[in-house]
Amino acid sequence: MDQQVQKGLDEGLTNFTAKYDLDTTVVDDLRQMLVAAMRTHVKPRPAGATGGKSEGKRPRLKTGYNLYIRAKFEEAKSSGAEEGAKTNSQELMASFSKEWKDLSTDQRSPYIEQADAINAENGAESSGTKKKTGKKSLSGYNLFYSENKDEIRDSKDKELSLMKAVGAAWKALSKEDQDKYKERAAEISAERD
């Protein structure tokens, strides 16, 4: 049996016997039953295994936002303990999130740099999907919608919604006309990047 398990068992039995004033033979019998049960039912951890964390799982990626929020909660906790104030964590989270959005790039950079350092140290990697920056790419339908919605709104059947009317108008276009919108949309999207 593992020395740490043996130590825990001894401490537990000592605390138990101190509380209930048991005879030494009862304690010995109890120890033997516990050791037998542990050998039967408790499987030892593989070497190098850590408690609670399964092997093979990659470390969770940290972001500057995560570190900022954690720091703000720690500040609130320490100042709240001093003042004796208890604040709703949802309200705090909302205010900290808004503060993060209002920070300049220079104010955010220490948190982002710290997160990068932690990720490098832990070997944390992103899932491989990099967030796109800039605007979402434009589709031919989106371009058609933005250019023609006002005209379609004025001429549509009163029973149809605008979206259904635009969709019907898009479907009524020839394949060549739809392709023209798609090509223009691709060009606009390329210029944005």
pLDDT tens, position by position, 5-64: 778 777 887 777 777 777 778 878 888 888 787 777 777 666 555 555 555 566 778 888
Residue 70 maps to a domain: yes
Handedness of CA 150, 151, 155, 156 (dihedral sign): negative
Q: Which two tokens stand for residue 142?
A: 């989106």
SS percent in the chain: helix, strand, coil, step 5: 70, 0, 30
- Answer yes or no: is 134 within a domain: no
The answer, as to whether pTM is greater than 0.85, is no
Give the distance from CA 186 to its chain's centroid.
Answer: 33
Judged against a pLDDT cut of 90, whether residue 190 lies above it is answered with: no
- 148 lies in a domain? yes
- Residue 172: band (very low, low, confident or very high) from pLDDT cuts 50, 70, 90: very high
Domain that holds residue 83: 64-122
